[in-house]
Structure 1
Amino acid sequence: MIIVPYAPGGSASPSETARACAPFGGAVFVVGTSSPLDERGRAVLEGAGRVVVADDPANVIASLAGTPVDGIVTFADAMLEVAAVLAEALGLPNHSPRTAACLRDKAAQRQRLNEAGVGFVPLVWSGAGTELRPFGPGTYPVVLKPRNGAGSEQCMILDGAAGHRTANARLDPARQYVAEGYIPDGAPPARHLADFLSVESAVRDGTITHLGISGRLPLAPPVREGGTVFPAPLSRATSEQVTALASRAIRALGITLGVVHTEIKLAPGGPQVIEVNGRLGGYLSELMLLVGLADPVSLAVRLAAGAPLPEPWSARGSALVVLRQPPMRARTVLRAPAPRDLVSLPGVVRAKQWARAGSPLDWRVGTAGMVLQVWMRGADWAGLSHDYLELTDFLDRSLSYTYDISEGIRG
Structure 2
Amino acid sequence: MNLVFVESNTTGSGMLAFAGARALGSTPVLATADPSRYAGLAETGVRVLACDTNEGDLARVLRDELGEIAGVTTTSEFYVTTVARTAGELGLPGNPPEAVAACRDKGRMRRILAAERLPSPAFEVITPDDDLERQVQATLARIAMPCVVKPVDDTGSLDVVLCTTSQEVLAHCRKLLGSTVNVRGQRSSGTALVEGYLNGPEFSVEMLSARGAHRCVGIVAKQVTPPPSFVECRHVFPAPLDDDAARTLAQTACRALAALGVTDGVTHVEMKLIDRRGYVVEVNARPAGGMIPQVIRTSCGFDLVEAHLRLALGLPVPPLPEIFLPAGIAFLLAHDPPPDAVLAEIGGVEHALALEHVDAVTVTAAPGSAVRHARSSYDRLGHVIAHAPDHARLHGTLDAALDLLRPVLRQPMGVR
- TM-score tier, shorter chain, comes to 0.7 to 0.9
CA contact (8 A) 1:293 1:314 kept: no
Partners of 1:48 and 1:153 in 2: CA distance: 29
Displacement of 1:162 after TM fit? 3.1
The 3-state SS of whatever aligns with 2:376 is: helix
- Structure 1 residues not aligned, in runs of 5+: 187-194, 404-411
Distance 1:169 1:330 in 2: 28
How much does 1:255 deviate? 0.5
Contact conserved, 1:128 with 1:173, CA < 8 A, in 2?
no
Give the counterpart of 1:337 among 347, 359, 369: 347
Match of 1:179 among 193, 200, 203: 193
Unaligned runs of at least 5 residues, structure 2: 181-187, 412-416
Structure 2 CA distance, aligned partners of 1:394 and 1:23?
38
How far the C-alpha of 1:330 sits from its partner, in A, is 4.9
Question: Is residue 21–residue 298 contact of structure 1 (8 Å, CA) maintained in 2?
Answer: no
Match of 1:155 in 2: 160
Post-superposition offset of 1:364 = 7.2
Mapped pair 1:228 → 2:235? yes
Partner of 2:62: 61
Alignment match, 1:312: 320
- Aligned-pair distance for 1:165? 6.2
Residue number in structure 2 paired with 1:240? 247
RMSD: 2.9
Name the residue aligned to 2:146: 141
CA distance in 1: counterparts of 2:37 and 2:312, whole angstroms: 30
Aligned to 2:400: 390
Q: 1:294 aligns with which of 298, 302, 315?
A: 302
Q: Is the 2:330–2:402 contact (alpha carbons within 8 Å) kept by the matching residues of 1?
A: no
1:170-226 C-alpha deviation (Å, 9 max, x unpaired): 54532424223233323xxxxxxxx11011111001111211111112334411111
CA distance in 2, matches of 1:104, 1:28: 24
The aligned runs of 1:246-257 (5 Å cut-off) are 246-257=253-264
Residue 190 of structure 1 is matched in structure 2 by none
Post-superposition CA distance 1:241-279 (Å, at most 9, x none): 000000000100100000011011012362200000001
Q: Which moved more, 1:253-262 or 1:112-121?
A: 112-121
Alpha-carbon distance in 2 for matches of 1:402, 1:141: 36
What residue is the counterpart of 1:326 in the other structure?
Answer: 334
Which AA in structure 2 matches 1:307? L
In structure 1, the residue corresponding to 2:179 is in which secondary structure? coil
Cα 1:338/1:389, change in 2 over 3 Å: closer
- Match of 2:7? 6
Instruction: Give the TM-score, by structure 2 length.
Output: 0.84
Separation in 2, partners of 1:132, 1:158? 16
Alpha-carbon shift at residue 169 of structure 1 (Å): 7.7
Structure 1 contact 321–374 (Cα < 8 Å) conserved: yes
The residue that corresponds to 2:185 in the other structure is: none
The one-letter code matched in structure 1 to 2:95 is H
Residues 1:197 and 2:203 aligned together:
yes
Cα offset for 1:14? 2.7
Q: Deviations over 1:80-121 (max 9, x none)?
A: 111111111111121112112112111111111111112122
User: CA separation in 2, counterparts of 1:389 and 1:129?
Assistant: 48
Deviates more, 1:113-122 or 1:243-252: 113-122
> Whole-Å Cα distance in 1 between the matches of residues 93 and 131 of structure 2?
39
| 1:151–1:328 Cα change, 3 Å | farther
Q: 2:377 aligned with 1:370, yes or no?
A: no
In the TM superposition, residue 325 of structure 1 has moved relative to its aligned partner by 2.4
1:26-65 → structure 2 map (5 Å cutoff)? 26-31=27-32, 33=33, 35=34, 37-38=35-36, 41=39, 43-44=41-42, 47-55=45-53, 56-64=57-65
Q: Distance in 1 between matches of 2:66 and 2:395?
A: 53
Q: Does 1:379 align with 2:385?
A: no
Report the secondary structure of 1:13's partner residue. Answer: helix
Paired residue for 1:122?
Answer: 122
Q: 1:25 to 1:213 in 2, by over 3 A?
A: same
**Partner of residue 75, structure 2:** 75
Contact persistence 1:355–1:371 (CA under 8 A) = yes
Q: Is the 8 A contact 1:102 1:108 kept in 2?
A: yes
SS at the partner of 2:94?
coil
Q: Is the 8 A contact 2:362 2:384 kept in 1?
A: yes
- Structure 1 letter corresponding to 2:91: G
Normalised to the residue count of structure 1, the TM-score between the two structures is 0.84
> Structure 1 residue 215 and structure 2 residue 221: aligned?
yes
Distance 1:329 1:127, change over 3 A: farther
User: How far apart are the structure 1 equivalents of 2:250 and 2:11?
Assistant: 24
Number of residue pairs matched by the alignment:
389
